[in-house]
């Protein structure tokens, strides 16, 4: 078994003690390992590559076949769960690439974008990482419309904090409802179908609710004070742009 798996004997014994690998059959003093043992070791390695601890692997392997998510099904479902929900992915660029994205802007714009978190210097100071090219684009659009990058950055951070909690609550809701009002009988195929349908709907729903809440908030503000949004003198920042 050691030769076929390429694992040390102590690792194999450890897997057995953790309950993720069945113990071998015994014929006299000899330990007899079957092909199923080797298949299990390959599966353990694959699950570890996906970031699962041995405790999580043991829990997964102990899961009964019903209500319907076998280990093989789970591996396919895992790909669906880990897939990106946004096409907006981080982008690495050099100085020239950042200049092309930012375009002609007021002096100090790059420094303000960096302070607001829309761009980040790469390790070593060579090149830039743009965590969200789409958010950078929106920040630049708002800057052109007269909304400071700093304000946009604060708004993004505020939304992220609030949505972080909301998403955790939503995941808890869907998890508790799996097999009931969410994903039918909760087989791997039904879960994957439900999640696939949820992706575009979640983005659109979040946008609609946010727009409705902005309308509500503005109405409440203006009803209380019709002059609340009048232009006020700007306070100059003492910070110097880099």
Helices 35-49 and 54-62, axial angle in degrees (round to 10): 130
Task: Supply the pLDDT for residue 118.
Answer: 93
For the chain, 242 residues long, the average pLDDT of each consecutive 10-residue run is 74 86 82 82 81 77 53 58 71 89 83 92 83 92 90 93 86 72 67 73 84 89 78 50 40
Neighbouring residues of 107: CB distance < 8 A, sequence distance ≥ 6: 241
For β-strands 128-130 and 91-93, DSSP reports them as: antiparallel
SS3 147: coil
Cis peptide before 67 (omega within 30 of 0): yes
Q: How far apart are CA 150 and CA 156, in angstroms?
A: 10
> What is the fold, at CATH topology level, of the domain defined by 2-62?
Multidrug-efflux Transporter Regulator; Chain: A; Domain 2 (1.10.1660)
Closest to 214 (Cα-Cα) out of 225, 222, 202: 222
What is this structure's pTM? 0.57
Owner of token pair 């979040």: 206
Domain ranges of the chain: 2-62
Residue 195 sits at the vertex; the CA angle it makes with 192 and 196, to the nearest 5 degrees, is 80
Question: What CA–CA distance (Å, rounded) separates 45 from 3?
Answer: 16
Map residue 32 onto helix, strand or coil. Answer: strand
The pLDDT assigned to 68 comes to: 45
Q: What is the pLDDT of residue 229?
A: 67
């Amino acid at each position: 078994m050691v030769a076929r798996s390429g694992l040390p004997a102590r690792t194999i014994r450890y897997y057995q003690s953790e309950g993720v690998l069945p113990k071998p059959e015994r014929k006299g003093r000899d330990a007899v390992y079957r092909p199923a043992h080797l298949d299990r070791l390959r599966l353990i390695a694959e699950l570890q590559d996906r970031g699962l601890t041995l405790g999580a692997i043991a829990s997964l392997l102990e899961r009964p076949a019903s209500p319907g998510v076998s280990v093989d099904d789970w591996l396919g479902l895992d790909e669906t769960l880990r897939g990106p929900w946004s096409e907006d992915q981080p982008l690495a660029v050099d100085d020239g690439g950042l200049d092309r994205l930012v375009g002609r802007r007021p002096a100090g714009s790059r420094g303000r974008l960096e302070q607001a978190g829309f761009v980040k210097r790469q390790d070593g100071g060579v090149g830039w990482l743009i965590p969200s090219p789409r958010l950078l684009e929106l920040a630049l659009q708002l800057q052109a419309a007269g909304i400071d990058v700093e304000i946009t950055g604060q708004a993004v951070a505020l939304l992220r904090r609030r949505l972080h909690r909301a998403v955790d609550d939503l995941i808890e809701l869907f998890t508790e409802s799996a097999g009931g009002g969410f994903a039918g009988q909760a087989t791997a195929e039904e879960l994957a179908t439900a999640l696939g349908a949820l992706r575009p709907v979640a983005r659109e729903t979040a946008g609609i609710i946010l727009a409705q809440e902005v309308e509500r908030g503005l109405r409440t503000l203006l009803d209380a004070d019709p002059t609340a949004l009048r232009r006020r003198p700007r306070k100059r920042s003492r910070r110097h742009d880099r």
